[in-house]
Structure 1
Amino acid sequence: MTHYYSMKQITEITGVTKRTLHHYDEIGLLTPSQRQDNGYRQYSQDNLIRLQKIIFLKGLGISLNEVNKMIDLDEETLRRSLQTYQTQMKEKINNLQRLNDNLLSFLDGTPLLKLDIYELPLQQQYATEASYRYGHTAVYQSLADKRRGNEASYSEEEVAQMDSIFEAFNQLAERNAPYEDSKHIVERWKRMLNQYADFSDDLLCCIADTYDEDPRFQDYFKQFSHPKITQVIADHVHFHLDKCSE
Structure 2
Amino acid sequence: MKNSKSVKFIVLAILIFGVWSYLKKDQLPLEVTLESEQPNSPSEQSNDQKIDLSKSSDSESHSSNANNFFVAQNKEEESLGLMTQILKDSLPLEKESQDLVRELDNNQLSPELARDSNPYTGDMMIVRTKRNLPGTRYFHAQYFVGEDGKEFLQHMSFEFKGGAGAFDRAISAAQTLAQLGAPVKKTKDFIQWNISENREVWIKIMGEKDLIDDPYNAYTKADVGTIRVAVEKKIHDDQHQDHVENE
Same fold at TM > 0.5: no
Question: Whose radius of gyration is greater, 1 or 2?
Answer: 2
Structure number with higher helix proportion: 1
| TM-score (norm. length: structure 1) | 0.33
| TM-score (norm. length: structure 2) | 0.32
